[in-house]
Amino acid sequence: MADQFYLFIQQLFNGFTLGSAYALIAIGYTMVYGIIGMINFAHGEVYMISSYIGFIVIAALMMMGVDSAFLLITGAMIVAITLTSVYGFSIERVAYRPVRGQNRLIALISAIGMSIFLQNYVRVGQSSRDIAMPPLVEGGWTFGNPDGFEATLTYMRVVIWVITIAAMIALTLFVTRTKMGRACRACSEDLGMTNLLGINTNFIIALTFAIGAAMAAVAGVLLGTFYGVINPYVGFILGLKAFTAAVLGGIGSIPGAMLGGMLLGIAEAMTAGYLSAEYKDVVSFGLLILVLLFRPYGILGKPEVEKV
């Protein structure tokens, strides 16, 4: 009986960790969709690139003799967030702005092209083999029965949760409290009107891409170091899952992306724990279909109003 409880707790830990990553990446999908109504399919690749940047920075710092996990993660985080934001900003300029205002399918194709380009760009630069790294933060707390099942809460998980929550609070404050955030919200309600009120909407759109990329970079560095293995293809399936999470929570809604990510992470972890790891994708996409059947606009989304 107690074993059952600790097994459940362990799956919850797994779910929160996976969910943090989904939620952080989903924010990028949802913000971009909220403003220009397009799905940025290259967003998963942005996550992958940030993982690589994180790895490179950590390796470089280690070579310089830095061995404090705190400094390594902080350094990787700062560089990855900065560079990945530049990637997000540039992707919008290069691949999306020239086709904005055209048929939406064109932007979609451009996004898929960007995604393939980025995968191969990293593959050529870094090779397609897995790159591994030893865990930076070791140890953790164990609970439960030493003779039966023991749940482990590693320190690294706690680091991931704390940073994820901090990133989400920072984003929420940015959107609700700052002038730029206010302009972002205005753009997501009515892009044309916002422009006519003297706001450079092109800049706000590019900024949104950069913020989404920064959030993905937080996930990229944390999850990369947590799992310890990356390759140029890790962004694809994770991006797809995060997109699912965004739709689940209600695409266009930032709290929706956070909630959708967490729900999806927990659902997958529970499936893996109680059913079989092979079924976790079935369950997560099944959950998506179920939610969309009853709430087509997602859990926290708003029904689409026909615009005149």
Partner 1 sequence: MSHLLEATDLKMQFGGLLAVNNVSLHVDDKEIVSVIGPNGAGKTTVFNCLTGFYQPTDGIILYKGEPIHGLPGHIISRKGVVRTFQHVRLFKEMTVIENLLVAQNRHLNTSLLAGLLKTKGYRKAESEAMDRAEYWLKQVDLLDKANWLAGNLAYGQQRRLEIARCMVTEPGLIMLDEPAAGLNPKETSDLDGLISHLRDEFNLAVLLIEHDMKLVMDISDRIYVVNQGAPLAQGTPEEIQNNPDVIKAYLGED
The residue ranges that bind partner 1 (CB under 8 A) are 174, 178-180, 182-183, 185-186, 189-190, 192-202, 308
Q: Which one, 11 or 253, has the nearer CB to partner 1?
A: 253
Q: Which one, 92 or 268, has the nearer CB to partner 1?
A: 92
Q: Which one, 77 or 204, has the nearer CB to partner 1?
A: 204
Q: How far is the CB of 188 from partner 1 (least distance, A)?
A: 9
Q: Which one, 136 or 183, has the nearer CB to partner 1?
A: 183
Is the CB of residue 51 less than 8 Å from the CB of residue 119?
no
Q: How far is the CB of 295 from partner 1 (least distance, A)?
A: 19
The DSSP annotation for 176-237 comes to HHSHHHHHHHHHHH-HHHHHHTT--HHHHHHHHHHHHHHHHHHHHHHHHHHH-EE-TTHHHH
Q: How far is the CB of 181 from partner 1 (least distance, A)?
A: 8
Q: How far is the CB of 97 from partner 1 (least distance, A)?
A: 13
Backbone angles phi, psi at 234, to 5 degrees: -65, -25
Q: Which one, 105 or 308, has the nearer CB to partner 1?
A: 308
Q: How far is the CB of 261 from partner 1 (least distance, A)?
A: 22
Q: How far is the CB of 254 from partner 1 (least distance, A)?
A: 12
Provide the terminal-to-terminal Cα distance of the chain, rounded to the nearest Å. Answer: 59
Q: Which one, 10 or 253, has the nearer CB to partner 1?
A: 253
Backbone angle region of 144, left / alpha / beta, with phi > 0 → left and psi within -120 to 50 → alpha: left
Q: Cβ contacts of residue 47 below 8 Å, gap of 6+?
A: 25, 216, 217, 219, 220, 234, 235, 238, 239, 242
Q: How far is the CB of 189 from partner 1 (least distance, A)?
A: 5
Return the ∠ at Cα 296 (arms to 292 and 298), rounded to 5°.
Answer: 80
Q: Which one, 118 or 186, has the nearer CB to partner 1?
A: 186
Backbone angles phi, psi at 197, to 5 degrees: -95, 15
**Beta strands, E only, 35-162:** 131-132, 140-144, 150-154
Tell me the two tokens of residue 197: 């009120």
